[in-house]
Amino acid sequence: NVLILDFGSQYTQLIARRVRELNIYCEIHPYNSLPDNVSTFKAVILSGSPSSVRSEEAPHPDLSEIKGKLPLLGVCYGAQYLAHFNGGAVAPSNTREYGRANLSYVKEGEAFFEGIESGSQVWMSHSDTIKVLPENGVKLASTEDVENAAYKIEGEETYAIQFHPEVYHSTDGKLLLENFLVHIAGVKQDWTPYNFVEMTVNDLKEQVGNDKVVLGLSGGVDSSVAAVLLNKAIGENLHCIFVNNGLLRKYEFESVLHQYEGMGLNVKGVDASARFLDALKGVDDPEQKRKIIGRVFIEVFDDEAHKITDAKWLGQGTIYPDVIESISVNGPSATIKSHHNVGGLPDFMKLKVVEPLRMLFKDEVRRVGASLGMNPELLGRHPFPGPGLAIRILGDITPEKVAVLQEVDHIFITNLKNWGLYDKVWQAGAMLLPVNSVGVMGDERTYEKCVALRAVESTDGMTADWVNLPYEFLQKTSNEIINKVKGVNRVVYDISSKPPATIEWE
C-alpha cells in the first residue's frame, strides 16, 4: 500500500489515479490525520498545497514515523516542506513558475530518473522555490528557471520534485512515479480488478456475515457494480430495491429491472411514480424539486426496507471521489447544486453502512464490473441525475410534460446509438423549455414547446464541453422529434461549456 498525504492540492486525486494506473493500491489521507498503521505502508507521497511553507498556517505534520524510515516522495509543496524543515531554504520565486518547462539537467545514473532524459517536459505550478537543499540533499534535476527541480537526501530513500508528475503535461510523470514506487520502494503492481474482487468478496463475507443487506439500485454503474459484488459475497441475503420515481427515461424502469433480474440479483421494483409526481405538483424551483425527490425517495425506500425483516446493513455505491470530497483538507467545496444522493444516511434508517466501492475511481468501477462479467451496455451507460427528468423540465412538472420529454429523449438517445455516437459522448439528454413559439405545420399555425438537446464531453462532470455532433445527425434528429412528438415544434442544440454553464439546465 502507498500512502498519499494530502496538503490540499487540487491535484492530489490525480496522484492517486496515476498510482492506481500502475496497478498499485494507494490511499489519500489528510496531512493532519495520519493513519494509525503508518509503518505498514510501503511508500509515502506528500502532495502539493495552496499554502506556502513560509506562512504561519502552513501544514506541518509530524513525519517522524515516515522520513528516513519509509521511501518518501515530496511533490511541489511536499518538496519544499522536506527542504524548509530540514536545513534547506525556500524563498518566493523571482519569476512566475507556472505551466510548461523542460528539464535542462538530469543527474546520470539515478534509478529515480531511469529512462528520463534532459529535455523531458514537466509541469510547474508554484510561487515559492527551493534556494538551498536540505541537509545531505543532492540535486537530481534542473529546468532553466528552477535550479532545484528535483533532489534526493543521501542516506535515505527520500526524493523530492518541484514539478507535478501526476498531470498529463508532465510527459514522463508516470514513469517517474513508477521508478520511485516500483524500482526504489519495491512496491508490487498487484492492484488489479480481479484481485480487488477476490479481496472485497472475502472482506464482505467477513464484515456482513449472515446479516441481510438492503441496497437501492439506481440503474447507474456504481450501485449496479456494488450490488453484483455484494451478491457474489452474500447471495440471497442481499435485497435490492429499484424505485421508479416516474422521472426516468422511456422504458428505463422495465428494461433495467429486467437486466438486474437477468444478473441474478434479488431485486424488487417499486413503482412510486404517482407519489413523486403528486409531491412535485406545482413546484418550479429546482432546489425545491431536488429536496422533494430526495425526501420522497427516502420515504419510499424506508417503507420498502421495513418490509425486509432483520435487515442490518445499507449497501451503497459510494465511490472514492465522494469519500475524498467529504474528508478533504479544506472540506467539501461550495454547494452549487445539492446532489441528494451524495451525503449521509438519514437518522431514522438505523442501519450500518457497507460501501464496497468506496476506494475506487469511476474507471476502476467499470473495470471491476467488466471483470465480474457485467453487460458492457450497462457499464457504459451515460450518467443520469438522481432527480431525473425533473431537472430537465424547466418550471413545474406534469405527467404530460414528462411524457413529452421521454419521447424526445428517447429519439435523441436512440439516434446517438444508431449513429455510433453514444460512446463518444459522456452525457446526453434533452431539456423541455418553458417556452412556446410559433410554428407552421401543413397550413396550420402552431404554438408549441421548444426542446434543447445537450451532449457533452467530460471526464468527471466537473468541467464539460459541448460535443460537435454532425450537422446531418442534428438535422435528422430534429426532424424526427418535431414530426413524431406532439406538442414540440422547435429543437435547439446547446453549445455552452461548463463552466460557465452547467450540464443540466437546473
What is the rounded CA–CA span in Å between residue 332 and residue 47?
Answer: 18
Amino acid at 244: N
Q: Can residue 459 be called a binding residue for ligand XMP (CB under 6 A)?
A: no
When binding is defined by CB under 6 A, the residue of 337, 358, 362, 476 that contacts ligand XMP is 337
For 302-359, give the secondary structure using H, E and C.
HHHHHHCCCEEEEECCCCHHHHHHHHCCCCCCCCCCCCCCCCCCCCCCCCEEECCCCC
Strand partners, 240: 215, 267
180: closest CA among 106, 73, 78?
73
Q: Can residue 169 be called a binding residue for ligand XMP (CB under 6 A)?
A: no
When binding is defined by CB under 6 A, the residue of 341, 415, 478, 489 that contacts ligand XMP is 341
**From the candidates 76, 126, 240, 407, which is the catalytic residue?**
76
293: closest CA among 304, 305, 281?
281
- For ligand XMP, the closer of residues 211 and 504 by Cβ is 504
Site string for ligand XMP, 394-433 (x = CB under 6 A): ---------------------------------x------
- For ligand XMP, the closer of residues 29 and 337 by Cβ is 337
- For ligand XMP, the closer of residues 26 and 247 by Cβ is 247
- For ligand XMP, the closer of residues 407 and 506 by Cβ is 506
Q: Where are the alpha helices (DSSP H) in 44-143?
A: 77-84
What is the rounded CA–CA span in Å between residue 44 and residue 50?
Answer: 20
- For ligand XMP, the closer of residues 30 and 429 by Cβ is 429
- For ligand XMP, the closer of residues 138 and 462 by Cβ is 462
Contact between 77 and 49 (Cβ < 8 Å): yes
The residues, any chain, with a CB within 8 Å of residue 46's CB and separated by 6 or more, are 5, 7, 31, 72, 73, 74, 75, 77, 78, 79, 81, 82
Q: Can residue 224 be called a binding residue for ligand XMP (CB under 6 A)?
A: no
With cell 432546489, the residue in question is 287
What is the rounded CA–CA span in Å between residue 456 and residue 204?
Answer: 37
Least distance CB 211 / ligand XMP (angstroms): 28
The residues, any chain, with a CB within 8 Å of residue 14's CB and separated by 6 or more, are 166, 167
- For ligand XMP, the closer of residues 309 and 335 by Cβ is 335
Least distance CB 283 / ligand XMP (angstroms): 14
Q: Which stretch binds ligand XMP (CB under 6 A): 156-164, 199-207, 324-332, 336-344?
A: 336-344
Contact between 59 and 82 (Cβ < 8 Å): no
Contacts (CB under 6 A) with ligand XMP, residues 373-392: 383, 385-387, 391
What is the rounded CA–CA span in Å between residue 16 and residue 5?
Answer: 10
Strands 137-143 and 150-153 come out as: antiparallel
**From the candidates 157, 166, 304, 364, which is the catalytic residue?**
166
When binding is defined by CB under 6 A, the residue of 67, 290, 392, 449 that contacts ligand XMP is 290
Q: Can residue 126 be called a binding residue for ligand XMP (CB under 6 A)?
A: no
**SS3 state at 91:** strand
224 marked among binding-site residues? yes
What is the rounded CA–CA span in Å between residue 319 and residue 373?
Answer: 20
What is the rounded CA–CA span in Å between residue 54 and residue 85?
Answer: 10
Q: Among this protein's residues, is 164 annotated catalytic?
A: yes
221 marked among binding-site residues? yes
What is the rounded CA–CA span in Å between residue 227 and residue 415?
Answer: 30
The residues, any chain, with a CB within 8 Å of residue 297's CB and separated by 6 or more, are 243, 245, 340, 386
Q: Can residue 249 be called a binding residue for ligand XMP (CB under 6 A)?
A: no
The alpha carbon of residue 423 and the mean position of all alpha carbons in its chain are separated, in whole angstroms, by: 18
In the chain, how long is the greatest CA-to-CA distance?
88
Q: Can residue 502 be called a binding residue for ligand XMP (CB under 6 A)?
A: yes
Q: Can residue 480 be called a binding residue for ligand XMP (CB under 6 A)?
A: no
Least distance CB 384 / ligand XMP (angstroms): 7
Q: Can residue 158 be called a binding residue for ligand XMP (CB under 6 A)?
A: no
Q: Can residue 321 be called a binding residue for ligand XMP (CB under 6 A)?
A: no
Cβ count near 450 (within 10 Å): 17
458 marked among binding-site residues? no
**From the candidates 164, 240, 364, 448, which is the catalytic residue?**
164
Least distance CB 415 / ligand XMP (angstroms): 20
368 marked among binding-site residues? no
- For ligand XMP, the closer of residues 340 and 358 by Cβ is 340
The residues carrying an active-site annotation are: 76, 164, 166
What residue ranges bind ligand XMP (CB under 6 A)? Answer: 290, 337, 339-341, 383, 385-387, 391, 427, 461, 498, 502-504
Q: Enumerate the known binding-site residues.
A: 218-224
Give the residue ranges of the annotated binding site for ATP: 218-224
